[in-house]
Amino acid sequence: MTGSAWRHTPLYVNSPDRTSPHPLRRQLPRLHRAALTAGRIFDSSLFSPAGWLRFKNKCFLFKGKKNDIKGNWSYARDWCKEQGGDLAIIDDQYENGKISRYLEHSAWIGLSDLLAENQYAWSDGVSPVLYTHWDTNEPNNVGGTEHCVTMKHNMLMSGKWNDDACHKNHSFVCYRKKCQ
């Protein structure tokens, strides 16, 4: 049955006293249980309704695919904060690997050495740097102007980190604790 047929099917037919439910009416409890079950599966699966992806206890959102917005590092951080999160904080190889598989372009993450050269810190100001995954010869602070970090993605590889100039527009990855 199509969705519109479902909406327009009366639940009571040919029953003047409305005590004889339409056959569909008898299916409602089962349909309702199925919907609830589907909801639970949906909630605990990778995709949340708003597009956040759950990897263990964190949720990540990927911006900048195809015609989606891109931005410089500050814009990206502000955008993530408006969503109740921050730029992605990556604490281990598992998270790095999962994120790298969803990238379509190199993307900003929350790491920078904006406050002090070569003293890398996460943009929330408190999370310790537990893990890094620098590409070969990175971070190299080219021209003394590279203070924000991307996770690289290209035809050959995905997932290695590079310090880049913060004013460049890139895709970006947000994170937050709750998916919804």
Interface positions with Ca ion (CB under 5 A): 113, 138, 140-141, 146-147, 162-163
Please name every residue paired with 172 in a beta bridge, in sequence order, or none if there are none. Answer: 63, 108
Q: Tell the smallest beta-carbon distance from residue 101 to Ca ion (Å).
A: 23
Nearest to 65 by CA among 107, 102, 104, 110: 104
Distance CA 67, CA 45 (A): 26
Of 43 and 117, nearer to Ca ion (C-beta) is 117
Of 96 and 112, nearer to Ca ion (C-beta) is 112
Q: Tell the smallest beta-carbon distance from residue 145 to Ca ion (Å).
A: 8
∠ Cα 153 129 62 (to 5°): 35
- Helical spans, DSSP H, in 12-170: 23-44, 73-82, 93-102
Q: Tell the smallest beta-carbon distance from residue 150 to Ca ion (Å).
A: 9
Of 153 and 176, nearer to Ca ion (C-beta) is 153
Cα 92 to chain centroid, rounded: 17
Of 53 and 87, nearer to Ca ion (C-beta) is 87
Q: Tell the smallest beta-carbon distance from residue 149 to Ca ion (Å).
A: 9
Does residue 14 sit in helix, strand or coil? coil
